[in-house]
Amino acid sequence: MSVAQAPVSQLKDGISTRIDALRPELERIGRDIHANPEIGYEERQAVGWLTALLREHGFEVEVGVANTPTAFVATRRNGTGPSIAFLSEYDALRGLGHGCGHNLIATASVGAGIALADALDRFPGRIQVIGTPAEEGGGGKIRLIRGGLFQEVDAAMMFHPDTRTQVLHWALAVTHMHFEFIGRAAHASGDPEKGINALDAFVLAYNGISMLRQHIKEGARLHGFLKEGGTAPNIVPERTSGEFLVRARDEAYMQELVQKVKNIFQAAALATGCSVKLTFDEDPYSDLRNNSVLAALFEDNLRRLGIDPVEPVPWENAGSTDMGNVTHVVPGLHPTLAIAPADVPGHSQAFLEASGSLRGYQAMVDAAKALAMTGADLLADPSLVEKAKAEFRRP
């Protein structure tokens, strides 16, 4: 071990001890968040609990950043050095509570921030815990990017619970479309010739999407549902509405697919005589860019904790995350830690239970440690930050 490595190794031992000591508080908050699910942009209690703990540990906390009441930034700094951000997600799924395990993300990042901030005495820098609301479709991180919160961040890190412990992560670019077909109501038996059927328009569009699926690139996804399909069987449906998601491995191809989807919906409107209104999210989620420098450090730290990650299969079971957008503005890290067996689907009742299980909280502690240790590597050797940034700058 070189002279430079010795203090880092001690530092990591200290981080581990510190997080073990913090565990009861982190777990209590994790359980409170799990038991009191709040959907995107309504996470007031979660923000209250997390920021109270950060304040107790000497962080300067600002709640309501980027004009977003449930976003926060907690900062501790000492002099000039690497600027490291741990991102804390805490929103629940509508109707399913913490079926994505964000209660564990929230507390892991807070624990990592608190433990790493102890190191600032010896290694100058800035540690932040950034509270990022509304990951499940609201794009909280995109607001924070626009609010300038990542301008001085050198590395943004978080973990996500999963069924696999995997260091690299792939996430698809995605955009969200709302559609509405308007036709004309009429007595379905007495005056059908006077009606314009908005359900027919939807069925045509749905079939068009199904056909398009054969001719899209590997990994792209088109899926959605009908929210309003009519009001009564004896009335020609006047209005139908619903939502679709368009996903692809990069934003450019996603935009190409968006144009095809628009064409399909407009063709269905033309064929049936309906009018159609399509509205898209202003801010699509970007694909996620891995950073091999941060990933390698995190992997070493996981192994130090006795955890062996699996070999990743690129794009396998890929979803989407607004962390993708963050990885397009700063070097980012988004590994996963297993909290449930491989056959458990995400966004399910079983995953909700795993997110509140002992295994879940153990993964939260392990993630907090490995994240903080990765931060320690950067604080102790700022040339690693430069390496991560050099990779980030390469197209």
Backbone φ, ψ for residue 164 (5° rounding): -130, 145
How are beta strands 275-280 and 173-182 bridged, if at all? antiparallel
By beta-carbon proximity to Zn ion, the closer residue of 100 and 294 is 100
CB of 321 to Zn ion, least distance (A): 7
CA–CA gap between residue 141 and residue 132 (Å, rounded): 6
Q: How far is CA 55 from the centre of its chain?
A: 25
CB of 44 to Zn ion, least distance (A): 19
By beta-carbon proximity to Zn ion, the closer residue of 82 and 139 is 139
What type of residue sits at position 30?
G
By beta-carbon proximity to Zn ion, the closer residue of 90 and 392 is 90
CA–CA gap between residue 212 and residue 264 (Å, rounded): 9
Q: Which residue is nearest to Zn ion (CB)?
A: 100
CA–CA gap between residue 132 and residue 110 (Å, rounded): 12
By beta-carbon proximity to Zn ion, the closer residue of 18 and 141 is 141
CB of 329 to Zn ion, least distance (A): 20
CB of 112 to Zn ion, least distance (A): 17
Could you say which DSSP state residue 248 is in? Answer: E
Q: Burial, 211: exposed, middle or buried (Cβ in 10 Å; 0-12, 13-18, 19+)?
A: exposed
Q: Which residues bind Zn ion (CB under 5 A)?
A: 100
CA–CA gap between residue 286 and residue 237 (Å, rounded): 36
How are beta strands 60-63 and 72-78 bridged, if at all? antiparallel
By beta-carbon proximity to Zn ion, the closer residue of 240 and 325 is 325
CB of 166 to Zn ion, least distance (A): 15
CB of 175 to Zn ion, least distance (A): 17
CB atoms within 10 A of CB 75: 18
By beta-carbon proximity to Zn ion, the closer residue of 100 and 117 is 100
